């Protein structure tokens, strides 16, 4: 869940100066700085499971994998509920095709993910489906989005099929193997939920 700080408009420069000195992570959305709360053990376990699976699948290939401490900048543009946005955030997991592209003047903020995954929580699931996904879709390199439910076996897989067109597939069967299209990789659903106790 994200929480807003003091109710005033911050510049991008103010946010980056504040964030660099902060021990906590914050998002920046059109001048608003929002505190990001920590995840549950299951949330973190699922994110690590996915990172491990992708690290193995992409070894030796021209991609880099980043976890939740890596900042992403979405410069703006596009017709959306957020309008012309300025957006910094920390996805649970990103895959970036080499060469890595950084925000101009920064060494700590990437701009070119092709794949993003978010582990859903009760407090962020609407945000991850709505405002955040809308912002992600303005990234030119972004082609694939995975939303993983931490409370039940349920995975939503969005693939960009054309300009302004995304295909959704949903998986509830742990024995299904999901094929990713942004790069050649297959993910067993059951492996995503390794060590997770799901209530019947």
Report the mean per-residue pLDDT for the chain.
88
Tally of CB atoms within 10 A around 65: 17
Residue 200 pLDDT: 54
Q: How confident is the model at residue 191 (pLDDT cuts 50, 70, 90)?
A: very high
Q: Does any domain span residue 197?
A: no
Domain that holds residue 67: 39-71+89-192
What is the CATH classification number for the domain harbouring 101?
A: 3.90.1570.10
Q: Does any domain span residue 183?
A: yes
Q: Does any domain span residue 30?
A: no
- Residue-wise pLDDT for 122-166, tens only, equals 877 777 887 889 899 999 999 999 999 999 999 999 999 998 899
Contacting residues for 43 by C-beta, under 8 A, at least 6 apart: 92, 119, 121, 150
Tally of CB atoms within 10 A around 91: 22
Q: Does any domain span residue 12?
A: no
Q: Does any domain span residue 198?
A: no
Residue 85 pLDDT: 56
Q: Does any domain span residue 14?
A: no
Residue 124 pLDDT: 75
Say how many domains are in the chain.
1
Task: Kindly give the pairing relationship between strand 109-110 and strand 71-74.
Answer: parallel
Q: Does any domain span residue 149?
A: yes
- Residue-wise pLDDT for 25-76, tens only, equals 898 888 888 888 778 899 999 999 999 999 999 999 999 999 999 999 997 7
Instruction: Name the pTM for this structure.
Output: 0.88
Tally of CB atoms within 10 A around 149: 17
> What are the structure tokens assigned to 98, written together?
């080499």
Q: Does any domain span residue 80?
A: no
């Amino acid at each position: 869940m994200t929480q807003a700080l003091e109710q005033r408009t911050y510049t991008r420069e103010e946010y980056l100066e504040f964030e660099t000195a902060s021990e906590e992570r914050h998002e920046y959305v059109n001048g608003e700085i929002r505190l990001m709360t920590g995840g549950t053990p299951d949330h973190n376990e699922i994110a690590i499971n996915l990172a491990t699976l992708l690290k193995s699948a992409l070894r030796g290939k021209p991609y880099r994998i980043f976890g939740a401490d890596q900042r992403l900048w979405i410069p703006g543009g596009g017709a959306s509920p957020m309008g012309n946005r300025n957006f910094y955030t920390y996805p649970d997991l990103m895959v970036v095709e080499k060469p890595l592209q950084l925000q101009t003047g920064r060494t700590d903020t990437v701009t070119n993910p092709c794949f993003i995954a978010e582990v859903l929580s009760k407090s962020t699931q609407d945000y991850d489906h709505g405002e955040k996904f809308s912002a992600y879709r303005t990234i030119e390199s972004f082609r694939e989005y995975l939303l993983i439910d931490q409370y039940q076996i349920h995975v939503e897989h969005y693939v960009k099929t054309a300009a302004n067109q995304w295909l959704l597939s949903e998986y509830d069967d742990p024995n299904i193997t999901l094929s990713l299209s942004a790069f050649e990789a297959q993910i067993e659903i059951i492996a995503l939920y390794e060590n997770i106790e799901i209530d019947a």
